[in-house]
Amino acid sequence: MHEFMTVIKALADENRVRVVLALRERELCVCQIIDLLGLAPSTVSKHMSILKQARLVDSRKDGRWVYYSLAAKDAPVEAREVVAWVCKCLANDHKVQVDTARLIEIMKFVPTEKCTR
């Protein structure tokens, strides 16, 4: 029950759902996530911590930069199923389409060249 509630609470915030959807096809640097959401770095850091605690995302550090991706295959099957369900349910959502277009623009820049965080 605890793990279930942790996942549900993690997905109870629109910005965290937007991050999960942004990560569905690629790994992103935290600065790219900040740019996409338009939030303060500390706020994004808190969101990412909640998603990581729910085992919905993984992170890796490369020098000064932190990269996030959806949880790997060793994540609980329930977490992977929830992410698949969220992606399916919101595939045609207008805000998701706007985020996807915005992410295309963000991805034109190499994170290590753009990020100063």
Strand partners of residue 68:
28, 59
Give the model confidence (pLDDT) of 29-42 as tens digits: 999 999 999 999 99
Give the model confidence (pLDDT) of 80-92 as tens digits: 888 899 999 998 9
Q: What is the pLDDT of residue 31?
A: 94
Domain 2-114 has CATH 3.40.190.10: no
The full set of domain ranges for the chain reads 2-114
Q: Note the pTM of the prediction, 2 decimals.
A: 0.89
Q: pLDDT below 50 — which residues of the chain?
A: 117
